[in-house]
Amino acid sequence: MPEASLSSSLLQRVVIEHVSPTVDCGAFPIKRCIGERVSVMANIHLDGTDHIAAILNSRLLSHPHWDKTFFTIIDPGKDLWQATLNLESIGTYEFFIEAWVDAFSTWRYKLGRKSNAGQDVEQDLKEGALLLHSAFVHSQGHDLEILQHHHHVITTSNSMTQRLAAANDPDVASIMKRSGNNGFSTKTQMFLISVERKRASIGAWYEFFPRSSGTGTLHSATFQEAEQRLEGIAQMGFDVVYLPPIHPIGRTFRKGSNNNPVAGPGDSGSPWAIGALEGGHTAVHPELGTLSDFHHFVEKAKSLNLEIALDLAYQCAPDHPYVKDHPEWFHHRPDGTIQCAENPPKLYEDIYPINFECEQWEALWNELKQVVLFWIHQDVRIFRVDNPHTKPYRFWEWLIREIRKESPDVIFLAEAFTRPAVMQYLGKIGFSQSYTYFTWRTTQKELTEYVTELTQTVVRDFMRPNFFVNTPDILHEFLQTGGCPAFQLRFILAATLSSNYGIYGPPFELCENQAFPGTEDYVDSEKYQIRQWEWDRPGNIKSLIGDVNRARRENPSLLVNETIRFYSVDNPQLLCYGKTLPDGSNPMLIVVNLDPKNVQSGWIQVPYQEWHLPEQYFVFDLLSNQSYAWKGASNFIKLDPQERVAHLFKVTS
């Protein structure tokens, strides 16, 4: 039998292992934002003692040329190498690592050892000259001139000192490193980085129902009236205004107030029951105004540095035009009727789920894509996606990819309160942000473990948390029973633990805590009826909200997630944590009383040495405008929730 031929790949001596950061070994992109830097690390090694050269090859997918950055070894004992990639554009970057035996560096090292030992290096110098000569073909211009000159010195000079100096010239070493690939390099697979605009990772969200923005009437407010609320939202320091569905609401099986299955004559119905004779997902509810009125609303928001986010809910009321024009897009029961939404014991007769796997799925998917494109053309660039975990993964993966081909600045927030693996997978396939379990994490242990998981593990590379404190669906028991201090402390936690957070207001800033007993459902929920709010009623926490949002804007370390660290405190009712910028600057220390009813005190441990502070330093509370001189690590804290639920300290020397 003929012998099997050997592959030249057998001469690839360098091994590249454990590349990071990656998601599922490169199956999905990692997430970052424009302006950030990615430190790519890998274990790179080979048999024997030869030296290694390694390059990070990177580019935007749309660019023809590769940028090349050499790795440096940062832990020789672990063969750990690092290279840094600057992300200067929105889009998808790709990168791979290439490494090879650095023959010239190996030769220089051995030459130096022999020379220092007083051994004969004549043959070694000739070997080096051959290496230089072989690089001529890969060099040009000034590089070629340098190589030729040093080759000439090494081969013709009568001075050993000059020959050794030429061999060890750092300029030569740099040129040879760039051109020294011996043709048997090892290359990794391709890895991807999804780079989005800053708003994907930093934002304070405010949710409100435009129809409840009026005064003195229970009829729907218009966009023009809702505009009057934008200035107050901006004054509180928010960045994003999120609107529940603004489309026509179905009349068939419309729900009444408090989710009554039978609507009265004046009941407005749920905005999530989308579609009526007036139109569907690309129409505006006539009671809110016209599409032109919506444009004016968006422009007013822009003038206040606010960005509008719309709800993207792929479901239909029985009156939606899709039901008449495309009945094949829905689930049909054996008796021919269309299946309504169910979550036993709850029944949603006013909503028809869409069948994403129907025979005409391609036409359906393309139509749903057109819905997003329509609102993008109305200058909307943020979408809060309703219940994405109840629709196919592959649909979202396809839709987000297709949308970003045209509009790479679009942000998608996944509203998926479901199992951890599902929430995380939605992040992997493209969602910019994700709702989280923050609402249900209330103890020191729960908060420490959960925030650490989100910010200090591999999860941070694909799932960006958005800490909504409450939603129209969720009024947690903690808020129901803790009074105004509960709202204050939960707000401070959300706004300082996460760079992205949100509130559903005005119920939140007014500390509205009335729920149906044993549930998280608001009494007189805006989901089913128009509410009239006394926007400035006594007891509101608008001032606190404004102070914290101001602190976020003036202290950029509060807008960084990966640097958060939790510090020891001897009272489990207190939570102590800190943040800095990646370079260690702008240290902030936050201490929160997790008990909304009782005074709590304890000794906290401040990492003053880690923050390069002198033994005596100062902390300035941005909430009370008081300054304290502290000394050493152990310092005493006492918080009375009736006066102050937290300290937000700026730490200085």
- Delimit the domains of the chain by residue range: 8-102+185-195, 104-179, 203-316+361-555, 565-652
Torsion 134-140-144-146 (CA) sign: negative
Range 48-67 burial, b when 16+ CB lie within 10 A, else e:
eebbbbbbbbbebeeeeeeb
CATH number of 565-652, picked from 3.30.460.20, 1.10.1750.10, 2.60.40.1180, 3.40.50.460: 2.60.40.1180
Q: How far apart are CA 212 and CA 486, in angstroms?
A: 25
Q: Where are the alpha helices (DSSP H) in 48-192?
A: 103-116, 122-135, 141-156, 160-167, 170-179
Beta strands in 168-272 (DSSP E): 186-187, 191-196, 203-207, 240-243
- Considering 307, 350, 415, 512, which one is annotated as catalytic? 415
pLDDT at 1: 46
| Dihedral over alpha carbons 444, 449, 453, 456 (to 10 degrees) | 80
Give the residue from 69, 76, 122, 77 showing the smallest Cα distance to 99.
Answer: 69
Q: What are phi and psi of 316, to 5 degrees?
A: -135, 145
- Considering 102, 311, 386, 526, which one is annotated as catalytic? 386
Q: How far apart are CA 595 and CA 591, in angstroms?
A: 12
Which residues pair with residue 414 across a beta bridge?
A: 385, 434
Q: How far apart are CA 11 and CA 357, in angstroms?
A: 49
Kindly report, residue by residue over 4-51, the tens digit of the pLDDT: 677 667 778 999 999 999 999 999 999 999 999 999 999 999 998 999
pLDDT at 324: 97
Active site residue 415: yes
Indicate the angle between helix axes 122-135 and 160-167, nearest 10 degrees: 40
Q: What are phi and psi of 182, to 5 degrees?
A: -85, 5
Q: Tell me the CATH architecture of domain 104-179.
A: Up-down Bundle (1.20)
Instruction: Judge: domain 203-316+361-555, CATH 3.20.20.80.
Output: yes
Active site residue 350: no
pLDDT at 138: 81
Residue 529 burial (C-beta neighbours within 10 Å; 0-12, 13-18, 19+): buried
Q: What are phi and psi of 204, to 5 degrees?
A: -110, 115
pLDDT at 134: 86
| Dihedral over alpha carbons 464, 469, 471, 474 (to 10 degrees) | 110
Torsion 369-375-379-383 (CA) sign: negative
Q: How far apart are CA 36 and CA 87, in angstroms?
A: 6
Q: How far apart are CA 248 and CA 275, in angstroms?
A: 5
Q: How far is CA 627 from CA 577, 593, 647, 651, in A?
A: 19, 19, 11, 10
Q: Could you say which residues of the chain have pLDDT below 50?
A: 1
Q: Which residues contact 189 (CB under 8 A, 6 or more apart)?
A: 26, 96
pLDDT at 180: 67
pLDDT at 11: 79
pLDDT at 178: 81
Q: How far apart are CA 565 and CA 562, in angstroms?
A: 9
Q: How far apart are CA 44 and CA 185, in angstroms?
A: 12
Q: How far is CA 165 from CA 148, 162, 179, in A?
A: 15, 5, 20
Tell me whether the CATH fold assigned to 203-316+361-555 matches the one assigned to 565-652.
no
* Domain 8-102+185-195 top-level CATH class: mainly beta
